[in-house]
Amino acid sequence: MATRKNLHRWYLALFVALGITCLTAAALAEIGEKEEGWRKNATNGHWYRLTAPLTWSQAEDQAIQWGGHLVTIRDRREELWLRSAFGPYKYFWTGFNDIETEGQWEWVSGEPVTYNNWGPEQPDNWGAGEDAAFMNWGGAVYCQDHWFGWSGDSWNDSYITNQCRGIVEVRGIGVSKRAAVHTPALPELGEKKEGWRKNPTNGHWYRLTAPLTWSQAAAQAIQWGGHLVTIRNGQEELWLRNSFSPYEYFWTGFNDIETEGQWEWVSGEPVAYTNWWPGEPNDYEAGEDGAGMNFGGAEQCVDQWFYAYGNGWNDFSNDSVLRGIVEVGMPHACTER
Ligand SMILES: [Ca+2]
Ligand SMILES: [Ca+2]
Ligand SMILES: [Ca+2]
Ligand SMILES: [Ca+2]
């Protein structure tokens, strides 16, 4: 009898332990999603997260570390979900590649190929050879010694040495639990949960607005208790590029709205640094009074304008719609959100 009673206890303990394990795993998975940039596709139950800008192989290494692979896209619906989850304006590495055998495209996950969405004339294995596919590509044109690309809804093969964010896909809770091993300290969790990033060098907090005109973005910044970003030196600008992306134009707080040609920070801080792209600011046509970063030049080619990404500023037209970088100096300003 005593043995049987002990057995009951043992089972009870086992069930409790299992229950706690499951609860912990579930809780971690939830945290994984919200606090670490993981997103779950409710349709297939898989989890997704962006890497930093990396070469294709580095991005796949990161994916393996996180317990998965660079994303496999099985149908149109999955691709639309990825575009809505991570944005349709930036290029992202997928797991699609022809590294092993030229022209034989396969998913790095080993799954069968059931879908593709190549853009016109892609894959073209251009130049010295392009062996991995990125998504959100809209087209490109070569004009006066520069390539100008724009975002859209198709795939292109690219040099695997190019640096691009990759979408990592993992299956199920166990893997998210593993990712939670890298869970940062609590203050950082709060930061990421709300979309705020803290620059450890100056202690200020930063967050992107939705795509807006400069004036709308400036108003949003004030609502959030700050201003559109002030950039004080090259190091701050590099941190912004690394934190938010070097492949999207963002509004800064630099503007000449009050007096044409007299550029100032909307925060009122003194102008200590500028990084205009050659030929900018040019107050083009109807007037351009707000500065955006990550600009790499514009060329008119066959009656059309093409814009590149790069490490410079441009004054964009007043009806341009970009996301703005909001900066707040006080950490408590973001916890109020
Ligand atoms: Ca190739
Ligand atoms: Ca290509
Ligand atoms: Ca102007
Ligand atoms: Ca301009």
Q: Which of 68, 74, 122 minimizes the C-alpha distance to 98?
A: 122
Binning pLDDT at 50, 70 and 90, where does residue 144 land?
A: low
Rounded CA separation 281/334 (Å): 32
Rounded CA separation 93/53 (Å): 9
The per-residue pLDDT for 302 is 67
For residue 276, report the distance from its CA to the centre of ligand 3, in Å. Answer: 13
For residue 287, report the distance from its CA to the centre of ligand 4, in Å. Answer: 9
Q: What is the mean pLDDT of residues 101-118?
A: 96
Are the beta carbons of 192 and 35 closer than 8 angstroms? yes
Asked whether residue 224 carries a pLDDT value surpassing 90, the answer given is no
**For 16-25, what is each residue's pLDDT tens digit?**
444 433 333 3
134, two tokens: 């990125």
Q: Under CATH, to which class is 38-174 assigned?
A: alpha beta
CA distances to 57, 66, 106 from 126, in Å: 19, 31, 18
* Equal CATH topology for 38-174 and 185-335: yes
Rounded CA separation 187/28 (Å): 17
Ordered by start, the domain boundaries in the chain are: 38-174, 185-335
**For 41-74, what is each residue's pLDDT tens digit?**
999 999 999 998 899 999 999 999 988 999 999 9
For residue 89, report the distance from its CA to the centre of ligand 2, in Å. Answer: 18
For residue 160, report the distance from its CA to the centre of ligand 4, in Å. Answer: 32
Task: Output the 3-class SS for 220-237.
Answer: HHHHCCCEECCCCCHHHH
Rounded CA separation 165/94 (Å): 9
Minimum-distance ligand to the CA of 96? 1
CA distances to 120, 298, 305, 309 from 145, in Å: 22, 12, 15, 15
Residues 6 or more apart in contact with residue 214 via CB below 8 angstroms = 228, 251, 255, 289, 290, 316, 318, 320, 322, 324
Minimum-distance ligand to the CA of 288? 3
Fold of the 185-335 domain: Mannose-Binding Protein A; Chain A (3.10.100)
For residue 291, report the distance from its CA to the centre of ligand 4, in Å. Answer: 8
For residue 108, report the distance from its CA to the centre of ligand 1, in Å. Answer: 14
For residue 72, report the distance from its CA to the centre of ligand 4, in Å. Answer: 39
Minimum-distance ligand to the CA of 160? 1
User: Looking at the DSSP assignment, which residues form a beta bridge with residue 251?
Assistant: 292, 324
For residue 97, report the distance from its CA to the centre of ligand 2, in Å. Answer: 12
For residue 314, report the distance from its CA to the centre of ligand 4, in Å. Answer: 5
The per-residue pLDDT for 272 is 95
**For 285-304, what is each residue's pLDDT tens digit?**
889 999 999 998 887 776 77
For residue 8, report the distance from its CA to the centre of ligand 4, in Å. Answer: 76
Q: Provide the H-helix boundaries in 153-198.
A: 172-179, 186-193
